Amino acid sequence: MNNTPYKILGGQLKHLRQNRAESIEEVSDAVEITTETLKLIENGSERPTEDILMLIINHFGMKDDEAVHLWELAGYNKPNQPKESIEEDIQKRTVFIMMALDNRILYSDSVHITANLNGIVLNFAQASIDQNSQAQTIARVGMSYEQAQNVASLLQQIIINRNNKKNQSTLPATGSSQPSPQEKSKDSKTK
């Protein structure tokens, strides 16, 4: 008796996950299944439900032909159903992903900043309890250069005014018509 009837499907899903450098925990959290269930799917001993397979396909942002191939490997194509109708089936499905909001404040020990033509990414980290381990990334935030400049200016103002009891500010959403912190200070000086 074959204990891994979906070995090819599982192998391809594992390959996708590893190519994206995602842990089994990250993917299982994203599609809201246990890590044990994802391990069973990846080793081919369990077939994902249609809904779970759709969540995995959407999580990895797969192209239609790749998604159809996985759909067929899972055995969800109906006998004599043309490939086009399977693709239509997949495209018609609406996937809802619910994410729990976590309002905890995470304090970081360090930040690593990377930049490219589009903007910057801040990787906030905390030192590991184990002295031999690397720092653990706790948050990643990307932004345009314009937004980064506004954040830097706002941070500088808050640091300078740190003794002020009500010391908080909010930047407007990118592309809004509200003035930047620099423009606000220029306006108040001219009045």
Residues 88 and 121 reside in one and the same domain: no
The pLDDT of residue 188: 47
Long-range contacts formed by 18-24: CB under 8 A, 24+ apart: 20/60
Residues 39 and 83 reside in one and the same domain: yes
Residues 33 and 76 reside in one and the same domain: yes
Q: Is the pLDDT of residue 87 over 60?
A: no
The residue that leads in pLDDT, 91 or 133, is: 133
Residue at 77 is within a domain: yes
The pLDDT of residue 61: 86
How buried is 48 (Cβ within 10 angstroms: 0-12 exposed, 13-18 middle, 19+ buried)?
buried
Residue at 100 is within a domain: no
Q: What is the CA radius of gyration of the chain?
A: 24
Query: What would the pLDDT profile of 47-73 be if each residue is shown by its tens digit?
Result: 999 989 988 998 888 888 888 888 888
Domain C-terminal end among 59, 92, 125: 92
The residue that leads in pLDDT, 141 or 38, is: 38
Nearest to 114 by CA among 104, 125, 106: 125
Residue at 58 is within a domain: yes
Residue at 102 is within a domain: no
Domain C-terminal end among 28, 61, 92: 92
Rounded Cα distance, 6 and 66, in Å: 16
163-183 mean pLDDT: 60
Residues 35 and 87 reside in one and the same domain: yes
Residues 75 and 42 reside in one and the same domain: yes
Domain, as residue range, for 157:
110-190
The pLDDT of residue 89: 56
Residue at 103 is within a domain: no
Rounded Cα distance, 71 and 57, in Å: 9
| Total domains in the fold of the chain | 2
Residues 25 and 87 reside in one and the same domain: yes
Residue at 1 is within a domain: no
CATH number at residue 47: 1.10.260.40
Cβ atoms within 10 Å of 50's Cβ, excluding its own: 14
